[in-house]
Amino acid sequence: MNCCSDDQRFPQLSLCLPDWVEAVLPPVDHRFETLEERMALVIALARRNVEEGSGGPFGAAIFERDSGKLVAPGVNLVVSSCWSGWHAEMVATAMAQQLLGTHDLGAEGLPAYELVASTEPCAMCFGATPWSGVRRLLCGARDADARAIGFDEGPKPMDWRGALAARGIEVVVDLLRDDARAVLHQYQRQGGPIYNGRAGD
């Protein structure tokens, strides 16, 4: 539903993935059988996002947990979209929910979905994970790896994994961590912007 009229004084928000994303994806009927294969895709998205200069060094995707079907990819679009909230996890989740026509990926009658993130979620994405309805979260690099190159990951509970588990969300960490971390370092070497709010103060 479009709630914005043409003459509205505030902008109509839109979310577009970069043009190059399709080229990174396998054919639509491909099934990602292993967790490592799913993680490798989101790391490839993160790497390409760095190489293309289209955003921060983070990739994500929503998959059907049991079949390995890719539902929607996401990459970090904070700087290009002028919105601090378009982290890769939020982009992938929004894409999947719009595509499936529901705000709740855990709704009755739907298959179980999972969020795959090239780096552990920040405080915002951690908070958004239960709202999304996903049943599993796969993480590559640790948030300490993102902090090490200057990103602010926000005030996340020490036991964030336990907090998600208590809501029935399985968490897998350190999946292809070295590969995911290498993308963070690539971004740092390239001199990519560290776009923390208030410059991290």
Q: Which stretch binds Zn ion (CB under 5 A): 24-32, 62-70, 105-113, 119-127?
A: 119-127
Q: Which stretch binds Zn ion (CB under 5 A): 60-68, 81-89, 101-109, 144-152?
A: 81-89
Q: Does 42 bind Zn ion (CB under 5 A)?
A: no
The DSSP code sequence of 120-159 is ---HHHHHHHHHHT-SEEEEEE-HHHHHHTT-------TT
| Active-site entry in 64, 89, 114, 120 | 89
The count of chain residues that interact with Zn ion, using the rule CB under 5 A, is 4
Helix (H) or strand (E) holding 185: helix 177-190
The DSSP code sequence of 57-116 is S-EEEEEETTT-BEEEEEE--HHHHT-TT--HHHHHHHHHHHHHT-S-TT-TTSPPEEEE
Among 38, 47, 87, 135, binds Zn ion (CB under 5 A): 87
Q: Does 122 bind Zn ion (CB under 5 A)?
A: yes
Q: Does 177 bind Zn ion (CB under 5 A)?
A: no
Nearest distance from residue 125's CB to Zn ion, in Å? 3
Nearest distance from residue 79's CB to Zn ion, in Å? 14
Kindly tell me the burial class for residue 159, based on how many C-beta atoms sit within 10 Å of its own C-beta (0-12, 13-18, 19 or more). exposed
Q: Does 125 bind Zn ion (CB under 5 A)?
A: yes
| Residues recorded for the chain | 201
Q: Does 160 bind Zn ion (CB under 5 A)?
A: no
Nearest distance from residue 108's CB to Zn ion, in Å? 28
Kindly tell me which of 30 and 167 has the beta carbon lying closer to Zn ion: 167
The CA angle 40-165-44, to the nearest 5 degrees, is 10
Give the integer Cα–Cα distance in Å for 106 and 63: 13
Half-sphere exposure of 139 toward its Cβ, with a 13 Å CA cutoff? 22
Nearest distance from residue 6's CB to Zn ion, in Å? 33
Estimate to the nearest angstrom the gap between the alpha carbon of 97 and the chain centroid: 13
Is 89 in the active site?
Answer: yes
Which active-site residues does the annotation give? 89
Summarize as ranges the residues that interact with Zn ion (CB under 5 A).
87, 122, 124-125
